[in-house]
Structure 1
Amino acid sequence: MTLQGTTPSSAFRLQVRGQAVGVATGGAVPDPVSAAAAPVVVLVHGAGMDRTVWQQQTRWLAHHGYTPLAVDLPGHGNSGGEPLTSVADMSEWLSEAVTAVGERLACEQVRLVGHSMGSLVCTETAAADHRRVARLVLMGTAATMPVHPTLLGAAQANERLAPELMTAWGHGSRAHIATNPTPGLWMAGGAVALLERARNGVIHIDLRACAAYEAGDAAARVRCPATVVVGSEDKMTPPRAAAPLIADFADCDVVHLQGAGHMMMNEDPAGVRSALATALA
Structure 2
Amino acid sequence: MHYIESGAGTPLVLLHAFPVDARMWNAARVRLEDQVRVIAPDLRGLGESPLDGSSARRSADPSAPVETPGVDVLAADILALLDRLELPEVVLGGCSMGGYVAMAVLRAAPERVAGLLLVDTKAVADDEEQRANRLRVAERAERDGTNGWLAESMLPNLLGATTREQRPEVVAEVKALIDAQPPEGVAWAQRAMAGRPDSGDVLGAFDGPALVVVGEEDSLTPPEQARELAAALPAGELVTVPGAGHLVPLESPDAFADAVRSWLSRTA
Tell me the TM-score range normalised by the shorter chain: 0.7 to 0.9
The amino acid of 2:44's aligned partner reads P
Inter-partner Cα distance in structure 1 for 2:173 and 2:31: 21
* Deviation at residue 40 of structure 1 after TM alignment: 0.8
Distance 1:129 1:223, change over 3 A: farther
Moved more, 113-122 or 76-85: 76-85
The residue number in structure 2 matching 1:202 is 185
Say if 2:47 is the partner of 1:59.
Answer: no
Q: Does 1:276 align with 2:260?
A: yes
Mark the CA change 1:60 to 1:243 in structure 2 (over 3 Å): closer, same or farther: closer
Work out whether 1:157 is the aligned partner of 2:157. Answer: no
Q: CA RMSD in A?
A: 2.2
Does the CA contact (< 8 Å) of 1:110 and 1:134 recur in 2?
A: yes
Structure 1 segment 1-281 matched on structure 2, within 5 A = 21-26=1-6, 35=8, 38-62=9-33, 64-82=34-52, 85-101=69-85, 103=86, 107-144=87-124, 146=126, 147=130, 152-158=135-141, 159=146, 160-177=148-165, 179-180=166-167, 186-213=169-196, 214-281=198-265
Question: Would the aligned equivalents of 2:122 and 2:225 in 1 still touch at CA under 8 Å?
Answer: yes
Aligned to 1:246, the other structure's residue is in SS state helix
For structure 2, the residue ranges without an aligned partner over 5 or more in a row are: 54-66
Are the counterparts in 1 of residues 31 and 254 from structure 2 also a CA contact under 8 Å?
no
Answer whether contact 1:23 1:70 (CA < 8 A) is retained. yes
Q: Which ranges of structure 1 fall in alignment gaps of 5 or more residues?
A: 1-20, 29-34
Give the C-alpha shift of residue 262 in structure 1.
0.1
Structure-1 separation of matches of 2:134 and 2:101: 21
Is the 8 Å Cα contact of residues 45 and 115 (structure 1) preserved in structure 2? Answer: yes
Name the TM-score, length of structure 1 as normaliser.
0.78
Question: Does the 8 Å contact 1:46/1:118 carry over to 2?
Answer: yes
User: May I ask how many residue pairs the two structures share in their alignment?
Assistant: 242
Farther off after superposition, 260-269 or 150-159: 150-159
CA deviation map 1:2-31 (0-9, x unaligned): xxxxxxxxxxxxxxxxxxx221124x5xxx
Could you tell me how far apart the structure 1 residues matched to 2:133 and 2:184 are?
A: 15
Q: Is the 8 A contact 2:227 2:238 kept in 1?
A: no
Q: Is the 8 A contact 1:137 1:279 kept in 2?
A: no
Deviations 1:18-57 (A, max 9, x none): xxx221124x5xxxxxx5xx11111111122211000012
Alpha-carbon distance in 1 for matches of 2:170, 2:43: 23
Shift of 1:73: 1.2
Bigger shift: residues 196-205 or 134-143: 196-205
2:88 and 2:195 mapped to 1: Cα distance?
32
> CA separation of 1:145/1:47 partners in 2, compared to 1, >3 Å: closer, same or farther?
farther
Name the SS for the 2:188 alignment partner: helix
The answer to whether the Cα contact below 8 Å between 2:209 and 2:236 also exists between their aligned partners in 1 is: yes
Q: Give the AA of the match of 2:46.
A: H
Tell me if the contact between 1:154 and 1:161 (Cα under 8 Å) persists in the aligned partners.
no
Q: TM-score, normalised by structure 2?
A: 0.82
Residue aligned with 1:76, SS = coil
- 8 Å contact from structure 2 (residues 226, 238) kept in 1: no
Classify the secondary structure of the residue corresponding to 2:218: coil
Q: Which residue of 2 aligns with 1:18?
A: none
- Higher mean C-alpha displacement, 75-84 vs 165-174: 75-84
